[in-house]
Structures are given as C-alpha cells and as structure tokens.
C-alpha cells in the first residue's frame, strides 16, 4: 500500500515538495486555502492590467534549482528579465552594477507554480484550521468542509511561519522558537496603472532609506500585456510599523513617497495589497524541519533563507529526507 502524505499550502515550497514526493512514489494530496496556486509568487489580474504583487523575480544559484529553472524555461513558463535597473541612494540615482540573472514567470509570476500544479492533486478553498495525530494517522479539519475524510501517514506543513505555528503549536512544542526567530514581516504593495506610458529612464529600482524599497514597471517583464503598470513595495520595517493602517491612508503615504521618487501616480488607477507575512527567515538556516516520530515535516522560505529559490529547495529537500526515513 502506498504511503500517503498530506501537504498544507500550495505555494512554491508545497508544490516542489509534492512534485518530488510524487516522483519518489508517494501518494500526495495538497490542500490550499485560496482558489489558485503559487502563494506569494502571485499576480493580480484585471481587464486592463496585471501586476506581480508578490515576488518580483527570482535568482538561481543551487544546481538543483538551476535545473528546475531550465525546465521552466523549456516549458515556456519562465524567462530571464533584463530590466534597466537603478539604485536610489543618498538622494541620488545610480545604475545598478548587479550582474546576476533575474528570472520571472511568464506570462505571470504564478506560471511556474501553475505548471507544477498540473501534475498534482490539489483541493482548493480548503483552509486547514486543525490537525491531529492519532494511531499513526494524520487527520485534518478545514474551515470550509469540516473533517477531511482521508487520513494520512505523513503531514507536510508548507506555510509561512506564523501560520505554521498557529496550526501545530499544540503538537510541536519546539516550533514556537523557530517561528519567532523567523520574524516574518509584512509588506505594503501598491500597483499603479497608467493609460499613457511614463517613459521613465529605468524599468526597476532598489530604493534606500525611504518607506518604499522597490519599484518596477511590470510591463518590462517578458510576455506582459495591458496598460503600463508599476509595482511599488515598501520596506519591511516601514510596512510592519504601519501594517494596521487603513488602506486608503497607506496608499496616500506610499504615493507621496513615489512622487518624490519621480513616479507621479496622480493619473494612475491604484490598487493596494497588504501582505501580513511577506519576508523573514530563521538564522542559522535549517532548510526544513522534520519530526520523524510524528511523521511531521515543515518547509517554506522562512526555513531556508527566504525567497523563491530557498522555498523551492526547502520543499525538495524535505521530500528527499522523508524518503530516506521511510525506507
Ligand atoms: P507561500 O508562497 O506563502 O505559500 C503558502 C501557501 O499556503 C499559500 O498559497 C497560502 O494561500 C496557503 N495557506 C496559508 N494558510 C493556509 C491554511 N491554513 N490552509 C491551507 N493553505 C494555506 N522572493 C524572491 O525570490 N524574489 C523577490 O523579488 C521577492 N519579492 C517578494 C515581494 C513580496 C511583496 C513578497 C510577499 C514576497 C517576495 N518574495 C520574493 C518572497 C517569495 O515570494 C517567497 O519566498 C516564496 O514565494 C514563498 O513560498 P512558500 O511556498 O514558502 O510560501
């Protein structure tokens, strides 16, 4: 009989873990609270514009992830992005000297995740709010459907640190320290779409010492269509300090700062998003967490340096370790 594994969260970590486990012969089942995959590698779509409002791009350094990115490029769900990149520092604009390849999903940031999801069983609109381990089986409960009928041999939690803590603190007594160490912080994001092109002399910029930390012209990424749309991210410290701000007030403050930086959004259509858990990670880096006795694993960016590559590798390595233990 096949070993069954439930995976909670269909972000890139959960998807990567599920893909690897399936390849190793396990029977996997993903549960995702939203209606689509990819979590923070996300895109907001509208009739006239679209914007990647989570991860902006990803880099690839580990050979395993480099291979995965090659596969995505061959499948035409990812491509290199070569923005004209500036840095704003000490009130001055400079050209960025960074040379590392930056990759994006095409036609949207969630495309690599959607590609992985095609081969995986996923139940959407399932917010898992309770889990229990009894008689060597995991039982799940969801907000929307109540008790999940199927029981599982293993459980993988592929959620941001605070959500992983809320779900498992009564079972995994040591998880709290890890999640506190990860210190995940929020991010305020504004998307501004324009009917006319702005013709700014850059496509993206890192901003230092302002509430805004990053701006980018979404349409400069390959295969984007629709109106010129700029994505604005605030830095983690500012975002966390003002995370409870009313959305209109947050937008006003962010757009004041954007105007100061030369991105005048007065004619733009504005959309704002509050990320409660955007970034943060434990130090030192455990890559993943596994309780062999409980058959309980954790993966996600916060256990492996933050960012897309770390999240993907965390899921992949957890899957490999589960296979070793199970043998
Ligand atoms: P997530 O993507 O958060 O996936 C978790 C999934 O679990 C989600 O789909 C969520 O809906 C689901 N979920 C949550 N609770 C439940 C529940 N109770 N039951 C079921 N499902 C649940 N990284 C980079 O590499 N480069 C960047 O430029 C970059 N910029 C970023 C900018 C922003 C604003 C943000 C927010 C993130 C950025 N990141 C960037 C980080 C990157 O997006 C993450 O590292 C990566 O996507 C995390 O993947 P994950 O699978 O660990 O978590």
pLDDT tens digits along 142-176: 999 999 999 999 999 999 999 999 999 999 988 99
The residue whose CA is least distant from atom 12 of ligand 1 is: 9
Choice from 55, 98, 205 to test ligand 1 binding pocket (greatest atom count within 8 A of CB): 55
- Taking residue 206's Cβ as centre, other Cβ atoms within 10 Å add up to 16
Task: Write phi, then psi, for 164 (nearest 5 degrees).
Answer: -65, -40
Distance in angstroms (rounded) separating the CA atoms of residues 12 and 319: 13
Distance in angstroms (rounded) separating the CA atoms of residues 318 and 16: 10
The DSSP element (H or E) to which 62 belongs, if any, is: none
Task: Write phi, then psi, for 8 (nearest 5 degrees).
Answer: -100, 115
Q: Is the CB of 108 under 6 A from ligand 1?
A: no
Residue 47, pLDDT above cutoff 90: no
In terms of phi and psi (left: phi > 0; alpha: psi -120 to 50; beta: otherwise), the region of 294 is alpha
- CA angle, 322 as apex, 284 and 128 as ends, to 5°? 85
Between helix 12-23 and helix 307-326 the angle, nearest 10°, is 30
User: What's the pLDDT tens digit per position in 274-303?
Assistant: 999 999 999 999 999 999 999 999 999 999
CATH class of 4-326: alpha beta
Residue 88 · residue 208 · CB < 8 Å: yes
Cross-strand bridge partners of residue 152: 138
DSSP, res 249: H
- Confidence at residue 228, expressed as pLDDT on a 0 to 100 scale: 96
**Average pLDDT, stretch 186-196?**
97
Q: Is the CB of 158 under 6 A from ligand 1?
A: yes
Nearby residues of 3 by Cβ (< 8 Å), 6 or more positions away: 26, 27, 153, 154, 326
Question: What value does the mean pLDDT of the chain take?
Answer: 96
- Confidence at residue 173, expressed as pLDDT on a 0 to 100 scale: 87
Residue 1 banded pLDDT, cuts 50, 70, 90: confident
């Amino acid at each position: 009989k096949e070993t069954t594994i439930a995976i909670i969260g269909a972000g890139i970590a959960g998807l990567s873990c599920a893909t690897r486990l399936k390849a190793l012969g396990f029977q996997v089942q993903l549960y995702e609270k939203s209606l689509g995959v990819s979590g923070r590698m996300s895109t907001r779509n509208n009739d006239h514009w679209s914007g990647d409002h989570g991860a902006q791009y990803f880099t690839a350094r580990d050979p395993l992830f480099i291979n995965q990115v090659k596969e995505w490029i061959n499948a035409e769900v990812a491509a290199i992005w070569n923005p004209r990149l500036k840095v704003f520092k000490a009130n001055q604009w400079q050209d960025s000297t960074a040379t590392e390849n930056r990759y994006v999903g095409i036609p949207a940031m969630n495309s690599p995740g959607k590609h992985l999801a095609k081969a995986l069983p996923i139940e959407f609109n399932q917010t898992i709010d309770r889990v229990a381990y009894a008689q060597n089986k995991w039982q799940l409960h969801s907000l929307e459907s109540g008790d999940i009928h199927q029981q599982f041999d293993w459980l993988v939690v592929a959620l941001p640190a605070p959500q992983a803590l809320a779900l498992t603190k009564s079972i995994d007594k040591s998880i709290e320290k890890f999640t506190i160490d990860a210190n995940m912080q929020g991010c305020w994001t504004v998307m501004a779409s324009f009917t006319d092109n702005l013709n700014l002399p850059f496509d993206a910029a890192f901003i230092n010492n302002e509430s805004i930390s990053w701006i980018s012209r979404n349409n400069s990424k390959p295969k984007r269509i629709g109106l010129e749309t700029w994505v604005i991210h605030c830095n983690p410290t500012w975002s966390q300090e003002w995370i409870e701000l009313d959305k209109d007030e947050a937008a006003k403050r962010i757009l004041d700062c954007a105007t100061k930086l030369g991105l005048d959004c007065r004619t733009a259509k504005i959309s704002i998003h509050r990320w409660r858990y955007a970034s943060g990670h434990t130090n030192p880096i455990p890559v993943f967490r596994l309780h062999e006795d409980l058959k309980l694993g954790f993966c996600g960016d916060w256990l492996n340096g933050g960012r897309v590559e770390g999240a993907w590798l965390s899921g992949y390595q957890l899957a490999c370790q589960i296979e070793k233990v199970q043998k």
